[in-house]
């Protein structure tokens, strides 16, 4: 029983490590393509790495609270499972975006879809709990 | 009693949905104003949508932990109420910024003020709890 | 005992206040260096303030969940202590980056290192808890 939330925490931890990896990829691309700070534009390939990082930042801000609330109501096996789909979707997004921005749709969908389910589930769970206890 | 935290979770869930809406508005503006990824500049109207998204991202990162801690100490009716003010402030911010960036102040204030109260309350609550139990 | 988590909440609250300070510094730099919204480029010094804010945003998204999970497993004296190192590192980062972007490494390292420890600790703690209770 106590092992349920740790699974969700583990997936959150892995999502943070993955994001750190994207941050370092940007730092490396900054050197490779000679884009000196504070600039974030000037080289198209660098900008791809930068956009992957920014897009992941946007999703991470939604993913972490959503998976936490969702798992409280629907169990963390389901929550952690959806989280793993998000993690895989981000890997696909990263590799396809860096190769060709036009091919980023599938990885994007694969990481956004589980987040949408998590958000909707979090809201449904919270409404149900609020109504039951009012 | 158990219905208290779900209200805060519901407001957090709605803030995530709202942010998703802003993300999709950027995606749509990208197509309408022909700003191909990875660029985020080049069309003034597109940049307005983009800045609304970025500014909301910045506030969301503060809003979610602040409302969570605040509500633990000051109850979630007050927490959720301040959260609703934030949500309304963001709607005003979005509509006014997209129409004219110079008119964005009111919506900005209306969404930043409740966050400031939440942050200060969270700190006051945490200090009080830390002192009481040391 | 109850005084333990409040310490971590206090550090989180201070990190949010610090981030708000960086946001306002950007707003002030926007006026000083005449960079009208929605633009985020056009003046090199303004861009420094802007990059400090963005970089802090990126780290904050990792810092908050990481310190929360870490402290649950390793106690919040250690968690809060690492959080204070992060806060100081960000002050060094801000002042050195604004003065000269090339001197930003030390402040960056000082704020990233404690986050890495928090993330690794969170993952180790979660794995251990998951294994123990399966």
Residues whose CB is less than 8 angstroms from the CB of residue C54 and which lie 6 or more positions away in sequence, other chains included:
none
Contacts of B61 in chain A (CB under 8 A): 61
Return mean pLDDT, chain B.
Answer: 93
- pLDDT of res. A1: 33
Q: How far is C99 from chain B (nearest CA, A)?
A: 24
Question: Nearest CA to CA, how far is C80 from chain A (Å)?
Answer: 18
Token pair recorded at residue B94: 């979005």
Which of B15-29, B38-52, C58-72, C74-88 bottoms out in mean pLDDT, i.e. has the lowest? Answer: B38-52
B4 pLDDT band (50/70/90 cuts)? low
* Structure confidence by residue, pLDDT tens digits, C62-91: 999 999 999 999 999 999 999 999 999 999
In 3D space, the residue among B129, B62, B52, B59 whose CA is nearest the CA of residue B95 turns out to be B52
Whether A62 sits inside 8 A of B1 (CB atoms) is no
* B2 pLDDT higher than 50: no
Region B43-66: mean pLDDT is: 95
CA distance B69 to chain A (A): 13
Listed as ranges, residues in chain A with pLDDT below 50 are 1-2
**How many Å apart are CA A6 and CA A12, to the nearest integer?**
10
Residues of A in contact with C127 (CB under 8 A): 6, 10
Tokens 């309408």 belong to B32
pLDDT score at B42: 86
Contact A37 C57 (CB under 8 A): no
Is residue C132 scored above 50 in pLDDT?
yes
Neighbour subunits, C (≥3 Cβ pairs < 8 A):
A, B
Residues in chain A with CB shorter than 8 Å from the CB of C113 are none
Q: What is the pLDDT of residues B78-104, one digit of tens each?
A: 999 999 999 999 999 999 999 998 888
- How would DSSP label each residue in A56-112? HHHHHHHHHHHHHHHHHHH-HHHHHHHHHHHHHHHHHHHHHHHH-GGG-HHHHHHHH
At residue B54, φ and ψ (nearest 5 deg) are -65, -45
């Amino acid at each position: 029983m106590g092992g349920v939330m740790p699974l969700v925490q583990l997936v959150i931890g892995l999502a943070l490590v993955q994001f750190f990896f994207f941050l370092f990829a940007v730092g490396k691309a900054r050197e490779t393509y000679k884009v000196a700070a504070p600039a974030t534009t000037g080289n198209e390939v660098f900008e791809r790495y930068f956009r992957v990082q920014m897009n992941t930042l946007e999703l991470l801000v939604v993913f972490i609270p959503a998976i936490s609330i969702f798992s409280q109501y629907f169990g963390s096996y389901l929550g952690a499972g959806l989280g793993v789909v998000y993690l895989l979707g981000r890997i696909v997004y990263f590799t396809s975006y860096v190769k060709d921005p036009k091919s980023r749709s599938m990885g994007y969908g694969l990481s956004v879809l589980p987040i949408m389910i998590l958000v909707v589930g979090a809201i449904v769970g919270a409404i149900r709990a609020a109504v039951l206890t009012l």
